[in-house]
Structure 1
């Protein structure tokens, strides 16, 4: 089975290129990681952390597991020279090329998955006005109807029914059809990408106290509970809806393969408190593995060699574990 994973180095003026140094501190007997980006840029920025690494040129006909001291790079040249901390829209197409090359490589089976470094939506939208982010870009490239954002740390995973929506729009967005889509994708990918035979999903309600039998809102009674009952009839092991303020207890964490929350700030504050430096992001529903760092470009830290690589290492380890556990369909 192909266990080669692409790592996109991200916005060239941010911390992404220099964080690639930390790949040289990792060893995998069965996984090859290939960094996509400008070789000279990555070599220069990675050197901020030390010179104890070598760069090998990527050859798709030669499988080389990740070894300590090495960074394997597919050289994709910048459009213009990049200055740390100062974004330039002339490199927006370069960033897009990194993403498209990685995605195309997954579709052709050259890669098993992608780990994405941080990008700036602002600089890309100067050139591509309708660009909204990694997730939507990969979704459109692969003609995927629906994707699910799941974030996690070393303690638990949280999937989101809705993502970046104003609070006032959430209730009308959570429909029976949406919950069917979200939970079905979550259950499917926990099986096929995480190798969990019988996933156990625990979900929050929307309202305080999960609606308290309709006294604090009726969305649970009208939509969420009926949807979950039907999903259980289809063989999906979902528990809830539970009150969000008491859901993240050890007794639930021990049993949950993933939590589902109804909106972005219902679950993520808890997750980031529990493991901010070990956080990762994965996109479920795509035809390939995609994990990501859980932070931005950090322009203020770029070029200084002080950015923390914890999230990148977590995203790399997650991608490797998913590649090992994933089931070919």
Structure 2
């Protein structure tokens, strides 16, 4: 359990989108420094440029080690990875330059938290489709898959928007692959992790809902056997462990319950069952993500990369402060 003001490493996100703007705009509101000691991880020159564009009154301090940080008024500590060329910096484009910087900042943040130099990590917005440009052999598409690769852990992604919490059994994978990944063991593991996380977020006795995979929840096997062979046994075992969980719900019932916010968290089988609904149902620019199943706390400030909106005054700094609020709740229980 963390007692002092926690040290949180925040990666820069997509330099060609709104990542740096979200980060620096939130820092300028001074709310972040009130609750934690933030350490920014990224390219100092890019951040300095963006800081000037948004006319922030805060000063960036370049450091290369945590021990050099100074947590003083209007000072933003930046661990400079010096991995981008300011002359190649163009807002609103897709670039392999960002991809390499994204991977390096994520690696650096994870190394710091594993060495107990920081307490948690928050990743700023990025663009999924450009992550694989620089290292095609890596086969990662987002923060969760790269965390899983580095730590050799199976992880899950929970998205939060206010009291609405959703998580999927699978990450960003093709539908044909997703179906094969839905096993009794993985469904049960997800239910347990989601239940524990929702408790850490302040709900003592969570009420969870689990979706089906097939139409009409398989219709007793007529439309598929995954519900009978994999999902239902996992739910039954979770109930035997004392977890309050409903399902498997057919697609329409699952959606109806999400819209009514009937449960404390919703577990889907694949991406579009939950994430799309969360982004459509509430302000899509005010959600955050928590990577579950890893031995570290790694959160994501949602909003999308915003390649079409940098420097257009539509950045939502609230997405980062909201993410920090969730991280602080987790830190209090660990």
Q: Do they superpose with TM above 0.5? A: yes
Distance 1:123 1:274 in 2: 27
Relative to the length of structure 1, the TM-score reads 0.84
Structure 1 match to 2:145 = 136
Match of 1:60 among 57, 66, 91: 66
Distance 1:91 1:160 in 2: 27
Distance 2:196 2:160 in 1: 17
Measured after TM superposition, the shift of residue 229 of structure 1 is 0.9
Residues 1:317 and 2:325 are matched in the alignment: yes
Residues 1:239 and 2:269 are matched in the alignment: no
* Deviating more after overlay: 300-309 vs 103-112: 300-309
Deviations 1:156-214, CA, capped at 9 Å, x for gaps: 100101233444454443221221232233234444x5355443322122234433444
Please provide the CA RMSD for this pair. Answer: 2.9
Measured after TM superposition, the shift of residue 122 of structure 1 is 5.0
Residues 1:48 and 2:48 are matched in the alignment: no
- Secondary structure of the corresponding residue to residue 98 of structure 1: helix
In structure 2, relative to structure 1, the CA distance for the partners of 1:216 and 1:101 (3 Å cut) is: same
Measured after TM superposition, the shift of residue 109 of structure 1 is 1.3
Match of 2:214 among 195, 203, 207: 207
Distance 2:198 2:260 in 1: 17
* Deviating more after overlay: 88-97 vs 133-142: 88-97
Relative to the length of structure 2, the TM-score reads 0.83
| 1:17-166 equivalent positions in 2, closer than 5 A | 17-22=20-25, 23-28=27-32, 29-57=34-62, 60-61=66-67, 69-81=74-86, 82-90=89-97, 92-120=99-127, 122-129=129-136, 130-132=138-140, 133-144=142-153, 146-166=154-174
- Secondary structure of the corresponding residue to residue 248 of structure 2: strand
**Gapped regions of structure 2 (runs ≥ 5):** none
Contact 1:31 1:66 in 2 (8 A): no
**Gapped regions of structure 1 (runs ≥ 5):** none
Residues 1:14 and 2:17 are matched in the alignment: yes
Deviations 1:92-131, CA, capped at 9 Å, x for gaps: 4333221111101111111111111233455553431124
Contact 2:212 2:218 in 1 (8 A): yes
Distance 1:33 1:14 in 2: 21
Distance 2:250 2:118 in 1: 41
Measured after TM superposition, the shift of residue 91 of structure 1 is 5.2
Contact 2:10 2:123 in 1 (8 A): yes
